[in-house]
Amino acid sequence: MGYPGAYFEGRVYFIPGARGKFKSKALKRGASLDNNTLVLIGPASNGFDCNDSTLDYENRVMEFTSFAEAKEILGSGDLLDAIKGAFSPSKDQRFSAGPQLVKALNISPNVRASITLDGHTVKALVPGPNGNKLRILVESSDKIIVSDGVEKISQDGLLQPDISISYTGDGTAADLTFDGNTLAVTVTGSTDGSASFSLSISEYPTLADLYDKINSLTGFTAGVESKPDFLSKNLDVVASTTVIGGLSLYGTFYRQKTFLENTGAFEVVSSSNTPFSVTASYQYLSGGSTGVWANQDYLDAIEFSKEVSGLYRNVCTDTFSIASYLSEIVNWMNSPDGSRETFGGAGADTSSLSVQDRIDQAKAINNEFMVYGVSPVKNYESDGLTEKTFTGWYISVLHNAAKAATNPRESLTHKDLNIISCPELLSDNDKRKIIQAGGLYVDRKPNKGAWKIGFALTTYQKSDTILTQASKVCTALAMSKDLRESLEESFLAEIVDDNDIRLFVDNKLDEYENLYGYLSKNIYTGEPAYDPNYTIERDGDKVYFVFPDAKLVSPINFFFHLFNLSEVKGSSTGGN
C-alpha cells in the first residue's frame, strides 16, 4: 500500500510538504444592548399602531434614545409620560440616565392625516392629529415649501430636463406620448425610412438605454441632459406632443415626491407621474386623529412583544387582567421555549383600590420575573408642566428604567427617585405587609429627604432570598441571556464535544465574575463566587447542567444555583 496521506484541518494531503493555516483567536462578545433596553407598552396620541400587522417591524416597534425623539413622534399620552420618566428615573447618578434604548409599542390605532393634490394622495408619515399641522405650498414647478407650523423646509431645482428627443426625418408629423410604461412616437407622411416606434420602459430602464436605442433609429436623435443612470420610469407622463424641432422630457414629479418623502413627514401615493400644480396658498393635511383603544389592544401588544427583545418591559396601565397576562408572557419568554430573557413590571389602581386590595393583587401575580407597583406617584406629564398623579404602574416603570441604566446586579432598594412626591403615606404595618407581598412602594428618606423605593422586590411568594430580590433575578437573566447567545454563536451547527462546552462555560463564568461583576465571592467566609461542581448534559441540541444533588436545570435555573441559595453568612477580620 502506498502513502496513506496526512490529515490537516479537515483535509487529507498526499503530496509531501509543509502547510500552514492562519487562524485568528475569537474575541469576547461585546456587551448586549438588550441589557440596557426597556420595552414600554401603552397608548399615545400619535405614532404607529404596534398591532397593525401590515406595517414593517421598524414602525410597529418605535425605538428612541431620548425623550426629545419620542416627544416629536408620540405627541402625548401614557406611553410618552412613561418614556419621560424612564429617561430620568432617579437622582442617583448611577441610574439617572435611564435606559440606553426604549422600544415603544403604541396600542392606539391612530389615523393618518392626508390630502389629495392633482390625483396624488399625500399622507402624513406618522399617524395621529399632529399630521393635521403639516402643510404644502407648490410655489412653482421648480419649488415646493413644506411646514409643520414650527419649521419650514423648501426645495428648488425640481424642474430639470433629463432627456431630449428630436425628429429629423421628412415626415409631416411626429407626436410623442409617454404613459409611464411605454414611450411611443407616431410618424406620418415620411418618405425617408423614418417610422413610428414604441419602446417598453422595462426593456430600457435607464436614460442611457433610451439614448442608445433612439439614436439607432432612422430620423431620430436623443441627448441625455441629466444623469445617464436616471431611471426611465421616473420621467413625467407626456400627452401627445410633437418632437419636430425637439422635446425635453422631465422627471419633475419624481423630484417633487422625493423631496416630500425625504423630509420624513410625508408619504406620497400616486398612480402616474404627473407633477403637482402650483397652489396659491398652503394646502393643509386633514383627518389625522387619535384612535380609541381597548384592553384587547393591550393584550395583543403584549403577545406581539414576545418578538421584541429587551431585558426589561412594562405596561402603562393598572388593569389587573393586563398585568396578569404580561406575567404569563414574561414566564414564557424566560422558559426554554421562549429563550428571550426579560423582566416585567406593572402596577395596581391606587386611585380606587385599598392598600390591602393592592397587596392581594401583588400576591396574585406571584412571579419572580415581575415587579408590581402599589404606590401612587406624582410627577410631570410629558409637557413638563402639568402635574399628574400616576397609579402603581408608574413606579414599576421607574424601577425597570433605573435597572436598565446600569449593571443589573445594582439594587434599587432605598435609591432616590426623580419624582415630585408620593401623595400617599403608608403606615409601618402597611409597609411590612407590602414587603411580605413583594410589592413596590414609595417611601421617604429621613428629615424630608428624597423619595425612594422602599424595597426592590419581585412578587415571588415563597420564602427565597434569591427569587424575591429583583437585582439577583435580573442578574441571573442577564447571565442566562449572554450564555445562551454565546453558546449559539460559538457552537450552533458545529461539531463539538463536552470538553469544548465545559471550557467555554468555565471561561464565561470567570468573565461574569471578573469582567462584569455579576458573581462575587463571599467576602466573609471566602467561599468562591460559584460552585464549580457541575456537569454538562446534552439532549440533542439542548444543553443542561447537572449539580451534585442530581438536579437537572436549564441555563436560567443554573445561574440561580450559582448564586448559592442561602443567605450570606460569616465573619471577616477585614483581610482577604
Does the structure show a pLDDT above 90 at 178? yes
Count how many Cα atoms sit within 13 Å of the Cα of residue 341 in the half-sphere of its side chain: 25
DSSP for 167-235, please give it.
E-SS-SEEEEEE-SSEEEEEEES--SS---EEEEGGGS-BHHHHHHHHHTSTTEEEEE-S-TTSBGGGS
Q: Does residue 84 contact residue 67 with C-beta atoms inside 8 Å?
A: yes
For residue 295, what are the CA distances in angstroms to 17, 43, 187, 315, 344? Answer: 73, 11, 67, 12, 18
User: Which one has a higher pLDDT value, 270 or 551?
Assistant: 270
Looking at the structure, tell me whether residues 226 and 330 fall in a common domain: no
Which CATH number is 96's domain given? Answer: 3.40.50.11780
The last residue of one of the domains, among 196, 228, 250, is 250
Q: What is the pLDDT of residue 58?
A: 94
What pLDDT digit, counting tens, does each position of 458-493 carry?
Answer: 999 988 777 888 998 998 898 888 888 877 776 665
> Residue 544 belongs to what H/E stretch?
strand 542-546
Last residue in a domain, options 461, 491, 511:
461
Let me know whether 321 and 436 are in one domain. yes
Q: Which residues contact 103 (CB under 8 A, 6 or more apart)?
A: 37, 38, 39, 40, 61, 62, 63, 308, 310
Amino acid in the structure at residue 463: S
Instruction: Identify whether residues 41 and 100 lie together within a single domain.
Output: yes
Do residues 319 and 409 share a domain? yes
Calpha distance 166→109 (Å, rounded): 53
pTM value > 0.75: yes
pLDDT of residue 513: 74
Evaluate whether residue 22 is within a structural domain: no
Assigned domain for 10 exists: no
> Which of 417, 436, 461 represents a domain boundary (last residue)?
461
**Residue 16 within a domain:** no
Are 175 and 228 found together in one domain? Answer: yes
Q: Do 166 and 132 share a structural domain? A: no
CA–CA distance from 17 to each of 4, 13, 482 (Å)?
Answer: 15, 9, 43
pLDDT at 272: 94
Which pLDDT score, from 0 to 100, does residue 575 have? Answer: 44
Please check whether residues 172 and 276 belong to one and the same domain.
no
Q: Specify the number of domains making up the chain.
A: 4
Per-residue confidence (pLDDT) for residue 506, from 0 to 100: 78
66 Cα distance to chain centroid: 13
- Residue 17 domain-assigned (yes or no): no
568 lies in a domain? Answer: no
Q: For residue 18, is it within any domain? A: no
**What is the predicted pLDDT for the residue at 433?**
96
The answer to whether residues 66 and 141 belong to one domain is: no
Query: How distant, in Å, are the alpha carbons of 218, 237, 502, 504, 543 from that of 511?
Result: 76, 64, 14, 11, 20
Query: Which residue's entry shows cell 469544548?
Result: 500
Domain-located, residue 6: no
Domain hosting 422: range is 33-109+292-461
Q: Percentage of the chain with pLDDT > 90?
A: 71
Do 341 and 419 belong together in one domain? Answer: yes
> Which residues lie closer than 8 Å to 549 by C-beta, 6 or more apart?
none
**Segment 242-294, tens digit of pLDDT:** 999 999 999 999 999 999 999 999 999 999 999 999 999 999 999 999 999 99
Is the torsion defined by CA of 75, 81, 84, 86 positive or negative? negative
Rounded Cα distance, 5 and 19, in Å: 13
pLDDT over 70 for what percent of the chain? Answer: 84
Q: Are residues 448 and 307 in the same domain?
A: yes
What is the Cα–Cα distance from 373 to 392, expressed in whole angstroms?
4
pLDDT tens digit sequence for 408-462? 888 999 999 999 999 999 999 999 999 999 999 999 998 888 999 999 999 999 8
pLDDT of residue 556: 55
Write out pLDDT tens, residues 82-122. 999 999 999 998 899 999 999 999 999 999 999 999 999 99
| 208 vs 225: CA distance, rounded Å | 11
Task: Count Cβ atoms within 10 A of the Cβ of residue 541 and give its class: 0-12 exposed, 13-18 middle, 19 or more buried.
Answer: exposed
Residue matched to cell numbers 408572557: 329
Residue 573: band (very low, low, confident or very high) from pLDDT cuts 50, 70, 90: very low
Mean pLDDT of 328-333: 96
Q: Is the pLDDT of residue 568 over 60?
A: no
What is the pLDDT of the chain when averaged over all its residues? 88
Distance CA 303, CA 307 (A): 8
Same domain for 420 and 489: no
Answer yes or no: do 130 and 273 share one domain. yes
Q: Which pLDDT score is estimated for 124?
A: 97
d(CA 547, CA 486): 22
